[in-house]
Amino acid sequence: MKLNIAVLPGDGIGPEVTNQAVKALKAIAFEFNHDFKFVTGDVGAMAIDKYNDPLPEKTLDLCKSSDAILFGAIGHPKYDNDPTAKVRPEQGLLKLRKELGLYANIRPVKAYETLLGKSPLKKHIIQGTDISIYRELTGGIYFGEKDLSEDGNRASDLCSYSREEIERIAHLAFQAAQNRKNKVTLVDKANVLESSRLWRKVVAEIAVQYQDVKLDYLFVDNAAMQMILNPKQFDVILTENMFGDILSDEASVIGGSIGLLASASIGDKYAMFEPIHGSFPQAEGKGIANPIASILSAAMLLEHFDLFAESELIKQAVEKSLKLDVSTPDINMKYNNITTGKVGEFIEDFINNPNDSNMNFTNIHLGQSTII
């Protein structure tokens, strides 16, 4: 298969983790005789510095002319700490989602057996957790009309949804559930919000078309609590933009690190793949950023094009790296010399040698991910 992939590394640790995902994809292309071409574009704070625009037109054009987008992370403290800034890195990501019509964000949450002890939650609570969060991505309060009074003392953000916006992601969630455990949980705040009541009405109507899927409802505050108390009860979570943003970040404690959570943002024509973590500027250049989320995002990219064997090989490589403690300090309490790049090299080596499991532990932890 031939794929043109736009790579938008962004800010902070974005370039470091994205580089490891590209390594994995290049190894897959070599092993399976695919033709993957990568073109890099500017986005976020670094694009503001160069063009005074968090999403330059040529970056948007690159994305529109590509088959898929591999995204890193955006954000910088100088904007986070300045509430008066008119141009912000996050505006580039929001605009990209809107321009490309990326309305469905899919975030898998899995409790890896080898990392159960890394989570702050008890092993018996998280063991076996396997959730897919379907978050609506181009509507709601993030995109609604915003207002600030002239005196700067009153502000408002409009949360608005249409039937069409709800229907299109709801169908995707129900279809996903049919290939999983046949359960969808709609998370909303229908006891307070009119927009949530519309979500309940529309989703209930759509559920009739999927008789094999059980639908239940949770208010978002209860859902946040249940995510910690009993995450195994969830299969597919369907929710609006802001609630999905918050819940998926909360879910990162199940796996032990936000550096493990990948995501896909899907539209009718375009698709983008990115880790859910931020730019983490404090870790930039230190080699401590976990690249697994970005690498698993690359695996989701492959699945989007029905390259399931290729995706599975990346997942096997990730599982092996976790089992052997070839991982960064956020989840590795045993070794302190495994860098972002070394994790990427190990996974690259595994892809190139998938049938050889005789790992040279000494070399691995000295910094050479050698398979012998």
Active site residues: 142, 189, 221, 245, 249
Of the candidates 47, 48, 46, 28, the one whose C-alpha atom is nearest the C-alpha of residue 38 is 28
Neighbouring CB atoms inside 10 A of 32's CB total 15
- Contact (CB, 8 A) for 292 and 260: yes
Provide the 3-class DSSP secondary structure of residue 214. strand
Phi and psi, residue 8, nearest 5°: -115, 90
DSSP characters over 145-209: -EEE-TTSS-EEE-----HHHHHHHHHHHHHHHHTTTSEEEEEE-TTT-HHHHHHHHHHHHHHTT
In contact, 18 and 39? CB cutoff 8 Å: no
Strand partners, 106: 134, 264
Dihedral sign, Cα of residue 294, residue 296, residue 299, residue 303: negative
Contacts of 20 (CB under 8 A, 6+ apart): 291, 294, 295, 340, 341, 343, 344, 347
Tokens 């976020």 found at: 44
- Give dist(CA 47, CA 173) in Å, integer: 34
Q: How many angstroms separate the CA atoms of 64 and 9, rounded?
A: 17
Q: Let me know: does 263 contact 276? Beta carbons within 8 Å.
A: yes
CB 170 within 8 A of CB 202: yes
d(CA 328, CA 29): 26
Tell me the longest C-alpha to C-alpha distance in the chain: 68
* Cα–Cα separations (whole angstroms), residue 85 to 42, 76, 94, 283: 20, 12, 16, 24
Torsion of the alpha carbons at 85, 88, 94 and 100, rounded to the nearest 10: 130
